[in-house]
């Protein structure tokens, strides 16, 4: 069921009449009638029965309508919030648990719908990988190798890129040793060379791989979700350009890596300012 199918179906079900539904949605009656006909061809009489210009829900349709209404409400709120963010305005987004997830097909449809209207330069998700190795540190399989290698490999494979293609990196740096380990596990340097990479200035602006151009968590936030999200925000800003003194010249591909627990859970994201 596409987004427009969902919107038309809910309107027709609530109004129980194509004419009133078309007036509510500001579309022609033939348009909404065609959508309902498409749904009828796909679903048969599972959710509703169509009689002339009316829609009568079946028992299954009546049971399904409330969660569909909740999803539609969440989508409308997500679209409105994204547009406000795209216009540089702030706001809060409260999506009900269980009704919609970021990977839900309807959410992806909504993202495409409002992305076309955004005024800012788009940034594209090229790859993402996750990996979990342990819960408590005493259960970790190694104290020098954690899950960043695997999450990075998954993200690199999805993007069709490698460490040498990354122009800027935002690494979760809750403690000094963490970005060193991440730098090594993500393939930017060999094991044991991470500390020297930072000490010699290669991670600074103008270096081989600028890291944490927003200042890292000492300048932002630790602990919790905010620190990791700021890394994604900074990566997007770098790829859009215009950051002045902290702008990485020619940045086209960015990597963001976050970890949770005690180096337990890892997530690597690769972003680019071109579809690739």
Chain segment 233-243, per-residue pLDDT in tens? 899 999 999 99
**Rounded mean pLDDT, 100-110:** 50
* Domain endpoint, select from 88, 115, 142: 115
* Domains in the chain, number: 2
Q: Band the pLDDT of 25: cuts 50, 70, 90.
A: low
- Domain end, chosen from 87, 115, 143, is at 115
Residue 202: per-residue pLDDT:
98
Of the pLDDT bands very low, low, confident and very high (cuts 50, 70, 90), residue 6 is low
Output 80 or 111, whichever has higher pLDDT: 80
Whether a cis peptide bond, with omega within 30° of 0, leads into 223 is yes
Single residue among 82, 115, 148 that ends a domain in this structure: 115
pLDDT tens, 156-170?
A: 999 999 999 999 999
**CATH at residue 261:** 3.40.47.10
- Regarding whether 211 and 175 lie in a shared domain, the answer is yes
- φ, ψ (nearest 5 deg) of residue 221: -155, 140
Structure confidence at residue 90 (pLDDT): 47
Q: Are residues 94 and 192 in the same domain?
A: no
> Do 87 and 144 belong together in one domain?
no
Residue 248 pLDDT > 90: yes
173 & 64 share domain: no
How would residue 139 be classed by pLDDT, with cut points 50, 70 and 90?
Answer: confident
Q: Within this chain, do residues 135 and 262 fall inside the same structural domain, yes or no?
A: yes
75 and 129 together in one domain: no
List the single range of 77-91, 135-149, 169-183, 253-267 with lowest mean pLDDT.
Answer: 77-91
The enclosing domain of 29 has a CATH number of: 1.10.10.10
Lowest mean pLDDT among 64-73, 150-159, 246-255: 64-73
Average pLDDT, the chain: 79
Instruction: Answer yes or no: do 111 and 145 share one domain.
Output: no
Question: Which has more confidence, 70 or 253?
Answer: 253
Instruction: Give the closest residue to 224 by CA, choosing from 179, 258, 271, 255.
Output: 258
Regarding whether 207 and 107 lie in a shared domain, the answer is no
Examine the pLDDT at 78 and tell me if it is beyond 70: no
Question: Could you tell me the pLDDT band of residue 56, with boundaries at 50, 70 and 90?
Answer: confident
Q: Which residues does 191 contact at the CB level (< 8 Å), separation at least 6?
A: 144, 145, 184
Using the predicted structure, report yes or no on whether residue 92 has a pLDDT greater than 50: no
Task: Specify the pTM.
Answer: 0.63
Name the residue range of residue 30's domain: 3-115
Residue of 261, 255, 273, 272 whose CA lies nearest to 185: 255
Answer yes or no: do 149 and 172 share one domain.
yes
Same-domain pairing of 233 and 253: yes
> Quick one: 106 and 243 in the same domain?
no
* Other Cβ atoms closer than 10 A to 41: 8
Together in a domain, 86 and 172: no
Contacts (Cβ under 8 Å, ≥6 apart) of 107: 75, 78, 100, 101
């Amino acid at each position: 069921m596409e987004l427009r199918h969902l919107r038309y179906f809910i309107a027709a079900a609530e109004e129980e009449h194509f004419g009133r539904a078309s007036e509510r949605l500001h579309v022609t009656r033939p348009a909404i009638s065609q959508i309902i006909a498409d749904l009828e061809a796909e679903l048969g009489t599972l959710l509703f029965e169509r009689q002339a210009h009316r829609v009568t829900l079946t028992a299954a349709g009546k049971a399904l309508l409330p969660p569909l209404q909740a999803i539609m409400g969440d989508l409308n709120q997500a679209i409105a919030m994204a547009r406000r963010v795209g216009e540089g305005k702030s706001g809060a987004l409260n999506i009900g648990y269980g009704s919609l997830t970021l990977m839900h097909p309807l959410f992806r449809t909504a993202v495409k719908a409002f992305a076309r209207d955004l005024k800012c330069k788009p940034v594209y998700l090229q790859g993402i990988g996750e990996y979990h190795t342990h819960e408590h540190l005493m259960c970790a399989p190694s104290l020098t190798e954690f899950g960043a290698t695997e999450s990075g490999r998954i993200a690199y494979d999805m993007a069709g890129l490698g460490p040498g293609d990354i122009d800027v990196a935002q690494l979760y740096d809750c403690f000094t040793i963490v970005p060193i380990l991440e730098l090594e596990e993500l393939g930017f340097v060999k094991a044991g060379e991470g500390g020297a990479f930072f000490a010699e200035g290669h991670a600074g602006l103008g270096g081989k791989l600028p890291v944490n151009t927003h200042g890292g968590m000492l300048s932002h936030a630790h602990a919790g979700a905010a620190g990791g999200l700021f890394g994604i925000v900074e990566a997007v800003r770098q790829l859009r350009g215009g950051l002045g003194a902290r702008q990485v010249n020619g940045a086209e591909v960015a990597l963001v890596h976050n970890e949770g627990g005690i180096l337990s859970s890892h997530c690597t994201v690769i972003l680019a300012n071109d579809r690739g």
